[in-house]
Amino acid sequence: MKNHILLVDGMAILFRAFHATAYRNYFMVNSKGMPTNGLHGFIRHLAAAVDHFEPTHVAACWDMGSKTFRSEMLDTYKGNREAPPVELIPQFDAVKQVAAGYGIPNIGLKGYEADDCIGTLACLYAEEGHHVTVLTGDQDMLQLVRPNVDIAIMRKGEGNYEVFQENSFFEQKGLTPAQIIDMKGLMGDSSDNYPGVKGIGEKTAIKLLTQYATIDQLLENLEELPNGVRKKIESDLDNLHLSRKLAAIHCEVPISCSLEDAKWEVDEKQKQAMLEEFELMKLSRLLRPADSVTN
């Protein structure tokens, strides 16, 4: 049977789980005074994904601090983001303990984002012939779609996904996965706080890439563009090149995760101990694969 590896964008799920309840100022707090609504939601989202995609292996990737090679390239990168809510901060480390309680390896490396770790592992596993599904809420991940790599974007509710695959990607997005990088280079990204070309939005970026395929070919044919568009690009070339570099997921991070470590196999005693520690026993019925280890 072909291995199916689920790569989990840990922070994306944790933030989604937290804000799903926090917007009502509702926080689950255990007897130690620790908020656990993010942990609770993380487990529920993870359980829904495992049930839906039926992976043979699972690994979770995480950001390891705010300083990365991108923030060295642009000191204002992601600088517009608010500090995380105080109720969420203690759950950053706890959620990794939750993942470990289910036997899921936690992958991350300082200087890189979770996206880069996911991209690296996805490419490695796909090249070895395995099927990879990336679970995320981040549209930037769409550039990773390729043979053997699907991107599952979480939609509202649990177990609701829009899955992007190589054979149908162009029909869904009107671009190739590689063109997602160039689109972000042209239009920038207000969420990650990098500029792109001032005055060029998504609609114009897609139109230009539909005609010229890549930024490089676009630049070789600037004289063909309408004066307004050409002048915008010519006056913002530095930001164009910088934004394209910032948008590209780095798929050569010096990390590894063996299939043996990532095998989806829950040790019930380990799981129960973790759930008891964080007082999440109401969720004990979730994530119980048929081949659970009972020891």
Q: How does pLDDT run across 154-202, given as a tens digit for each residue? A: 998 788 999 999 999 999 999 999 999 999 999 999 999 999 999 999 9
Model confidence at 21: pLDDT above 90:
no
- Whether residue 288 is contained in a domain is answered as no
The CA-atom distances, in angstroms, between 82 and each of 79, 85, 189 are 8, 9, 16
Residue 87 lies in a domain: yes
Q: Provide mean pLDDT across the span 64-76.
A: 92
Q: Do 243 and 118 belong to one domain?
A: no
pLDDT band with cut points at 50, 70 and 90 for residue 60: very high
Query: Alpha helices, DSSP H only, in 68-168?
Result: 69-73, 89-101, 114-127
pLDDT at position 22 is 74
Q: In the prediction, which pLDDT does 281 show?
A: 94
Between 221 and 293, the higher pLDDT residue: 221
Instruction: Let me know whether 115 and 242 are in one domain.
Output: no
Cα–Cα distance for residue pair 268/211, rounded to 1 Å: 55
Strand order in the sheet with 161-164: 106-107, 57-61, 4-9, 131-136, 149-154, 161-164
| Location of structure tokens 């974007």 | 153
Residue 78's nearest CA partner among 193, 174, 166 is: 193
- Answer yes or no: are the C-beta atoms of 94 and 33 closer than 8 Å: no
**Do both 97 and 67 map to the same domain?**
yes
Identify whether residues 80 and 189 lie together within a single domain: no
User: Cβ distance 170 to 161 under 8 Å?
Assistant: no
When pLDDT is cut at 50, 70 and 90, the band that residue 289 belongs to is low
Residue 215 lies in a domain: yes
Same-domain pairing of 262 and 148: yes
- What is the arithmetic mean of pLDDT over 59-84? 92
| 55 and 166 assigned to the same domain | yes
117 with 223, same domain?
no
Q: How many domains does the chain have?
A: 2
Residue 225 and residue 123 share a domain: no
Mean pLDDT of all residues in 15-31: 83
Q: Mean pLDDT throughout 115-144?
A: 97
E-strand ranges in 2-148 read: 4-9, 57-61, 106-107, 131-136
* 124 shares a domain with 58: yes
Q: 211-262: per-residue pLDDT in tens? A: 999 999 999 999 999 999 999 999 999 999 999 999 999 999 999 999 999 9
pLDDT of residue 291: 46
Pairing of strands 161-164, 131-136: unpaired
**290 within some domain:** no
On whether both 125 and 16 belong to a single domain, the answer is: yes
Domain of 194, in residue numbers: 173-247
Looking at the domain assignment, is residue 291 inside a domain? Answer: no
- CATH number, domain with residue 163: 3.40.50.1010
- The enclosing domain of 209 has a CATH number of 1.10.150.20
Higher-confidence position of 139 and 27: 139
**pLDDT tops 60 at residue 293:** no
Per the domain annotation, does 294 fall within a domain?
no
Same domain, 60 and 116: yes
Q: Are strands 149-154 and 161-164 parallel, antiparallel or unpaired?
A: antiparallel
Do residues 295 and 268 touch, judged by C-beta distance below 8 A? yes
The answer to whether position 204 is within a domain reads yes
For the chain, percent of residues with pLDDT exceeding 90 = 86
Stretch 124-131: mean pLDDT, rounded? 97
Q: What is the pLDDT of residue 82?
A: 86
Regarding pTM above 0.85, the answer is yes
Please tell me the distance from the alpha carbon of residue 50 to that of residue 127, in angstroms, as a whole number: 23
**Structure confidence at residue 26 (pLDDT):** 75
Rounded to whole angstroms, how far apart are CA atoms 210 and 213? 6
pLDDT for res 1: 61
295 in a structural domain: no
Same domain for 268 and 125: yes
